[in-house]
Structure 1
Amino acid sequence: MSREREIHQHSGWLVPLGLFGVIAALSGFFLLYYLRPPPAPFRDNRPTAAATMVHLRVRGISLHIPARFIEARAIRAGGDRDTVSLFAALPDMRGYTEAEDNLFAGNAADSPVVHVLIRADANGMDAETRLARIYMPYIAEAKGEQAPFGLTRYAFRADSGYGRNDLYVAKTGGPLLLCEQPAQDLPSPNCLAIDRPIAQGVGLTYRFKRAHLARWQAVAAGVNRLISDFRK
């Protein structure tokens, strides 16, 4: 009888724990899938250099964005959206121009283009919570190791779904940076600044090339400045 009670007690917390793990994994896969460059046949590769102001809303957050910063043609119609995808080029976070069409369309390892995603997210977590709940269970060494650029590097276990990535955490606060490891089959690796809340029910994620990891603070400041300008 005591054995049956023990099994029942264990099953009571295993079910919600398993459900949380599934939700977290699906959220991570969504972001990685959405922010990676899509195959050419499916890419909306018709940006505009127009400075026309587009008025958008994501979960009640009003955004006023020049059309040249908006990737998807459909989003330039404005209105209520669950996701808004933007792009801008380093170092000054400038929008698309016809003169730089090849630069914005390219996927070179040192491409200066930063891709930004604003999306409705009712389950957003701050960096500290996300690190503890989502990533630490898969980290090989909990202490991490000192890395350049004011970052701590965490290596994932090889048997985890993140085995081909490195996780970088700022020592003085900042975004979590999930960076693809360079490989023969991945010559142009990205770094993903993981989803963080910018308002109730709204999250921000952005992607840039790993070649610019040394500039992560400038990239973060540039993205934050853009979002601040677009919310005015």
Structure 2
Amino acid sequence: MTLLSSVHINTRRLRRRHRGHLVPIAFAAVIATGAIALVAYLLWPTWEPIKSDDPARLPVSVGATLFNVPTQAVRMKVQRHSGPQERVDLSFAYPSLDAAGAPKHASAETAEAAVQPIDRIFLSIAAHHDTLAPDVRVRTIYPRYLEKASTQGDDGMTLRAFRDGTPYSSEDLFAAGAPAMVARCTRDAATPGMCLSERRIDGADLTFRFPRSWLAQWRDVAGAMDRLTAQLRGPR
């Protein structure tokens, strides 16, 4: 009997000791929980979210070259993000150079009405990966395929046709010196002729595309390309 009483007393003592150890642990847990709640409350954002899908401009790196791209000018949704990209395709209203966004696709019912003069200048910015520079191509590659004869326009622009059977057949090369401009253009056929003009900026090549008919005011087009290039690079 005495042995059983002794065991019972020892058991109660162990239980009291165990409860005595739990009290400070529980107290510390309560303090820690309160501290976490206080920090969360202080750091929780209290401002209203900006009701805008995209920022006005995106800092985009193409070929390790930084460009500030108007969000609404990006033609493909998958390219509407900041950071490094291999290529970005843009479009701008001409002559205002406002961000034009993606062109609308015509349905079969509106196909006839959709045949309208193009009022946009398209621009692709792509990493060149040390390929042949556009100005070097003009000096060393194009002359191999051009006709010998050239036509000098009254507006200061020279036209030389590419020979048939060459990689650039059915195209013409336009060049001017003041301001400097070079454009390779397809000829008008079932669809209006289009021109492309290229330039290299550090690690990226800029390719502008516009209707051939705009060459009637080629100085305005050259100025527009210069302004777009300056706006996209921003202050340096």
CA offsets 1:144-166 (integer angstroms, 9 cap, x no match)? 22124321110111121222111
Equivalent in the alignment of 1:25: none
Length, aligned pairs only: 175
Equivalent in the alignment of 1:94: 98
Give the 5 Å matches for 1:30-179.
52-96=56-100, 108=115, 110-121=117-128, 122-127=130-135, 129-141=136-148, 144-172=150-178, 174-179=180-185
For 2:230, which of 223, 228, 231 is the aligned residue?
228
SS in 1 for 2:141: helix
Q: Is the 8 A contact 1:107 1:188 kept in 2?
A: no
1:102–1:215 Cα change, 3 Å: farther
Task: In structure 1, give the amino acid aligned to 2:137.
Answer: R
Residue 112 of structure 1 and its aligned partner are, at CA, apart by: 1.4
Which runs of 4 or more aligned residues in structure 1 lie more than 6 Å from their structure 2 counterparts after TM superposition? none
Give the 5 Å matches for 1:7-18.
none
Identity %: 25
Residue 137 of structure 1 and its aligned partner are, at CA, apart by: 0.5
Q: Is the 8 A contact 1:139 1:157 kept in 2?
A: yes
Output the CA distance in 1 between the equivalents of 2:233 and 2:90: 14
Output the CA distance in 2 between the equivalents of 1:211 and 1:157: 22
Q: Is the 8 A contact 1:178 1:191 kept in 2?
A: yes
1:207–1:148 Cα change, 3 Å: farther
1:202–1:191 Cα change, 3 Å: same
Output the CA distance in 1 between the equivalents of 2:116 and 2:157: 21
Residue 171 of structure 1 and its aligned partner are, at CA, apart by: 3.5
Structure scoring higher RCO (CA < 8 A, sep ≥ 6) equals 1
For 2:195, which of 191, 195, 199 is the aligned residue?
191
| Structure 2 residues not aligned, in runs of 5+ | 1-52, 107-112
TM-score of the superposed pair, with normalisation by structure 2: 0.66
Output the CA distance in 1 between the equivalents of 2:178 and 2:99: 30
Residue 226 of structure 1 and its aligned partner are, at CA, apart by: 2.0
SS in 2 for 1:218: helix
1:72–1:214 Cα change, 3 Å: same
Task: In structure 2, give the amino acid aligned to 1:230.
Answer: L
Equivalent in the alignment of 1:210: 212
| Structure 1 residues not aligned, in runs of 5+ | 1-48
1:50–1:112 Cα change, 3 Å: farther
Structure exhibiting the larger radius of gyration computed from Cα positions = 2
Task: In structure 1, give the amino acid aligned to 2:199.
Answer: R
